[in-house]
Amino acid sequence: MKGILLVNLGSPNSTSVKDVRNYLDEFLMDSRVIDVPYITRCLLVKGIILNTRPKQSAKAYSKVWTNEGSPLIVISKKFTKKVKANVEAPVALAMRYGTPSIETGITELVNQGVDDILIIPLYPQFAMATTETIVVLAKQIIKDKFPNIKLTDLPAFYNQPEYIDVLSKSIQEELKKEEFDHLLFSYHGVPERHIKNSDVTGNHCSLNGECCNTTSEAHAFCYRHQCYETTKQVVNKLGLQPGFYSTSFQSRLGKDPWLQPYTDTTINDRAQNGIKKLAVVTPAFVADCLETIEEIGMEAKEEFEENTGKVFKTIPCLNDRDDWVNVVSNWITNWLHK
């Protein structure tokens, strides 16, 4: 029997510093997130980051936490419930870090008689720190504990017309409510090194961004290309004029160069250039989370307003919108009938 495993990133179990530390430990010790040799990673994560970051992150998490828990988890559960009601197969939800784990999700499906799983990483654009780490871990668990289970993964859907349609619609709904001077597409960043590491051709990525406009088989795994492609397709769909929109990358951690331009400097730059009404959309996330609610909706908003900006609107992620639920349900139904 076929079954579906939806997977997102995960959150700490609570906003306590201890729970946030445990979560960050699991997350940042992943070699596809901090991709340096094991000993260096231990020194960096356990010796440096985990001494200060958990306290800072716990404070940020407590600003977004709801009575039901972490927004990312609450929204993912609502989304999963709606998908379940739409498709004729068992559906489980798992998180790459924290709970419910990928192993728990697979076990839940197997206990219902599933032996053929479609895994859907809930990230529109491929990255080794998201899509790849989910699929690699799921394959490892299957190999070690469920050797008779078949696993198929849904590739990144950054350019799928149905996804672009609902994303564009969600943006247009906000642009209709108020007149904005500028629309910023802010994607989660990754270290530049990750882009090089994921270059399957070994020589495509020039790191200056020019490569992303050419045709290349590298783009099936190029996060930067896929982000710019999502922006381009939404821009075409909505007929947005050059100058009205820009693309940037947020959430940089550490001193290494990450994808640029950075969101914070882009927002400051726009404010200094007379932009008063700014809308920000965050298409690397399908569910609102710490990075959209706190980093953009609170921190960036405050900075923009202090910098002479007047209106700052964070466009909600697709969350459990019915049209988004229907898109994913249709992808699942197509796979079920294959």
Ligand X SMILES: C=CC1=C(C)c2cc3[nH]c(cc4nc(cc5[nH]c(cc1n2)c(C)c5CCC(=O)O)C(CCC(=O)O)=C4C)c(C)c3C=C
Q: Between 66 and 140, whose beta carbon lies closer to ligand X?
A: 66
Residues 79-138 that bind ligand X (CB under 6 A): 123, 127, 129-130
171-179, 275-283, 289-297, 304-312 -> range binding ligand X (CB under 6 A): 289-297
CA distances from 22 to 102, 252, 295 (A): 17, 21, 21
Q: Using CB under 6 A, pick the residue from 5, 6, 57, 212 that binds ligand X.
A: 57
Q: Are 106 and 117 in contact (CB under 8 A)?
A: yes
User: Which three-class secondary structure state does DSSP give residue 116?
Assistant: strand
Site string for ligand X, 265-284 (x = CB under 6 A): -------------------x
Is residue 249 involved in binding ligand X (CB under 6 A)? no
- The answer on whether 103 is annotated among ligand-binding residues is no
Torsion of CA 78, 238, 177, 304, to 10 degrees: 90
Is residue 212 involved in binding Fe ion (CB under 5 A)? yes
Tell me which H or E stretch contains 150: strand 150-153
- The answer on whether 182 is annotated among ligand-binding residues is no
Cβ atoms within 10 A of the Cβ of 125, count?
A: 24
| Rounded Cα–Cα distance for residues 8 and 287 (Å) | 9
Site string for ligand X, 14-33 (x = CB under 6 A): ----------x--------x
Is residue 42 involved in binding ligand X (CB under 6 A)? no
Is residue 72 involved in binding Fe ion (CB under 5 A)? no
Q: Using CB under 6 A, pick the residue from 185, 291, 300, 324 that binds ligand X.
A: 291
Contacts of 243 (CB under 8 A, 6+ apart): none
| Rounded Cα–Cα distance for residues 45 and 41 (Å) | 6
Residue that is written with structure tokens 């699929």 in the block: 135
| Rounded Cα–Cα distance for residues 19 and 226 (Å) | 33
Tell me how far, at minimum, the Cβ of 130 lies from ligand X, in Å. 5
Is residue 222 involved in binding Fe ion (CB under 5 A)? yes
Q: Enumerate the known binding-site residues for Fe(2+).
A: 188, 291
Binding site for ligand X (CB under 6 A): 9, 11, 24, 33-34, 53, 57, 70, 72, 123, 127, 129-130, 188, 190, 223, 251, 253, 284-285, 289-291
